[in-house]
Chain A
Amino acid sequence: MTMNSVAKKQNNSSILMRIVKNQCFIPLAALFILIIFNLVADPTFFQILLEKNSAGNNVLNGPLITILDNGSELAILAIGMTLVTAASGGQDISVGAAVAIAGSVILRVISGGETYPETLHSPVIVAFLVCVVVAMLFGAFNGILVAFFKIQPMIATLILYTAGRSIAAWINNNELPVINEPSFAYYGTYIPGIPIPTPFFIMVICVVIIALLLKFTNLRLYTEAVGINESSSRLNGLNPAFIKVMSFVILGVCVAVVGLIKVSRFSTINYSVIAKDIEMDAILAVALGGNALSGGKFNMVASIIGAYVIQFLITTLYRFNVQSDALPAYKAVVIIILVVISAPSVKEWFSGLTKKLMKKEVA
Chain B
Amino acid sequence: MNDNVVLKMRNIHKSFPGVRALQAVDFTLRKGEIHALMGENGAGKSTLIKVLTGVYTKDEGNIFLDGKEKAVAIHSPQDAQNLGISTVYQEITLCPNLSVAENMFIGRTKGIGQNWRKMNADTEKILKSLEIPAKATQQLETCSIAVQQMIAIARAVDMDCKVLILDEPTSSLDEQEVEKLFTLMRNLRAKGVGIIFVTHFLDQVYEVCDRITVMRDGQLVGEYEIKDLPRVQLVSKMLGKELDDMSDIKGEQQAYEREEGAVPVLEAKGLVSDAGIKPFDFHIDKGEVNGFTGLLGSGRSECVRAIFGADRILGGKVKMKGKDVKISKPLDAMKNGIAYLPEDRKVDGIVGDLSVRDNIILAQQVLRGFFRPFSKAEANKIADEYIKLLSIKTASADTPIKSLSGGNQQKVIVARWLFTHPEYLILDEPTRGIDVGTKVDIQKLVLKLASEGMSVTFISSEMDEMLRTCSRLVVMRDRKMVGQLSGDDLNQNKVMSTIAGGENDDE
Bind each other = yes
Q: Are A237 and B370 in contact (CB under 8 A)?
A: no
Residues on A with C-beta less than 8 A from B348 are 231-232, 235
Instruction: Determine the interface band of chain A, counting residues with CB < 8 A from chain B.
Output: 20 to 34
- The reply on A225 being an interface residue by CB < 8 A is yes
- The reply on A234 being an interface residue by CB < 8 A is yes
Residues on B with C-beta less than 8 A from A239 are 329, 331
Q: Are A238 and B370 in contact (CB under 8 A)?
A: no
- The reply on B352 being an interface residue by CB < 8 A is yes
- The reply on B435 being an interface residue by CB < 8 A is no
Instruction: Determine the interface band of chain B, counting residues with CB < 8 A from chain A.
Output: 20 to 34
Q: How far is the CB of A290 from chain B (nearest CB, A)?
A: 14
Known interface pairs A217-B373, A218-B370; A237-B351 also in contact (CB < 8 Å): no
Known interface pairs A216-B371, A235-B348; A224-B330 also in contact (CB < 8 Å): no
A296 to B354, CA, bound (A): 9
Residues on A with C-beta less than 8 A from B440 are none
Residues on B with C-beta less than 8 A from A297 are 353-354
Q: Are B365 and A221 in contact (CB under 8 A)?
A: yes
Q: How far is the CB of B333 from chain A (nearest CB, A)?
A: 8
- The reply on B52 being an interface residue by CB < 8 A is no
- The reply on A236 being an interface residue by CB < 8 A is yes
Residues on A with C-beta less than 8 A from B308 are 235
Q: Are B371 and A235 in contact (CB under 8 A)?
A: no
Q: How far is the CB of B28 from chain A (nearest CB, A)?
A: 41
Q: How far is the CB of B457 from chain A (nearest CB, A)?
A: 16
A218 to B365, CA, bound (A): 8
Residues on B with C-beta less than 8 A from A296 are 353
- The reply on B386 being an interface residue by CB < 8 A is no
Q: Are A232 and B349 in contact (CB under 8 A)?
A: yes
Residues on A with C-beta less than 8 A from B353 are 224, 228, 296-297
Q: How far is the CB of B117 from chain A (nearest CB, A)?
A: 38
Residues on B with C-beta less than 8 A from A38 are none
Q: Are B352 and A217 in contact (CB under 8 A)?
A: no
A248-278 residues at the B interface, CB under 8 angstroms? none
Residue of B nearest to A215 (CB): B373
Q: How far is the CB of B324 from chain A (nearest CB, A)?
A: 21
Q: Are B366 and A235 in contact (CB under 8 A)?
A: no
Residues on B with C-beta less than 8 A from A228 are 351-354
Residues on B with C-beta less than 8 A from A186 are none
Q: Are A236 and B330 in contact (CB under 8 A)?
A: yes
Residues on A with C-beta less than 8 A from B416 are 236
Q: Are B352 and A229 in contact (CB under 8 A)?
A: yes
Q: Are B354 and A225 in contact (CB under 8 A)?
A: yes
- The reply on A152 being an interface residue by CB < 8 A is no
- The reply on A25 being an interface residue by CB < 8 A is no
Q: Are A225 and B351 in contact (CB under 8 A)?
A: yes
- The reply on B363 being an interface residue by CB < 8 A is yes
Residues on A with C-beta less than 8 A from B342 are 235
What sequence of 0s and 1s flags, for each residue 313-341 of chain B, a beta carbon within 8 Å of any chain A beta carbon? 00000000000000001110010000010
Residue of B nearest to A224 (CB): B354
- The reply on A233 being an interface residue by CB < 8 A is yes
- The reply on B347 being an interface residue by CB < 8 A is yes
Residues on B with C-beta less than 8 A from A141 are none
Q: CB < 8 Å: which of A219, A229, A234 contacts B350?
A: A229
Q: Are B370 and A222 in contact (CB under 8 A)?
A: yes
Q: Are B351 and A233 in contact (CB under 8 A)?
A: yes
A197 to B370, CA, bound (A): 35
Residue of B nearest to A234 (CB): B330
A61 to B188, CA, bound (A): 84
- The reply on B164 being an interface residue by CB < 8 A is no
Q: Are A236 and B366 in contact (CB under 8 A)?
A: yes
Residue of A nearest to B367 (CB): A237
What sequence of 0s and 1s flags, for each residue 191-234 of chain A, a beta carbon within 8 Å of any chain B beta carbon? 00000000000000000000000011111011011001101111
Residues on A with C-beta less than 8 A from B347 are 229, 231-232
A127 to B324, CA, bound (A): 49
- The reply on B362 being an interface residue by CB < 8 A is yes
- The reply on B268 being an interface residue by CB < 8 A is no
Q: How far is the CB of A271 from chain B (nearest CB, A)?
A: 38
Known interface pairs A218-B365, A228-B351, A229-B352; A235-B370 also in contact (CB < 8 Å): no
Q: How far is the CB of A25 from chain B (nearest CB, A)?
A: 18
A219 to B373, CA, bound (A): 9
Known interface pairs A224-B353, A228-B353; A235-B330 also in contact (CB < 8 Å): yes
11 A-B contact pairs sorted by A residue (CB < 8 Å):
A217-B371, A218-B365, A218-B372, A222-B370, A228-B351, A229-B347, A234-B329, A235-B308, A235-B342, A235-B348, A237-B334
Q: Which 7 A/B pairs are nearest by Cβ-Cβ distance?
A: A237-B331, A237-B366, A237-B334, A236-B363, A229-B351, A218-B373, A228-B353
User: A residues bordering B, Cβ < 8 Å?
Assistant: 215-219, 221-222, 224-225, 228-229, 231-239, 296-297
User: B residues bordering A, Cβ < 8 Å?
Assistant: 308, 310, 329-331, 334, 340, 342, 347-354, 358, 362-363, 365-367, 369-373, 416
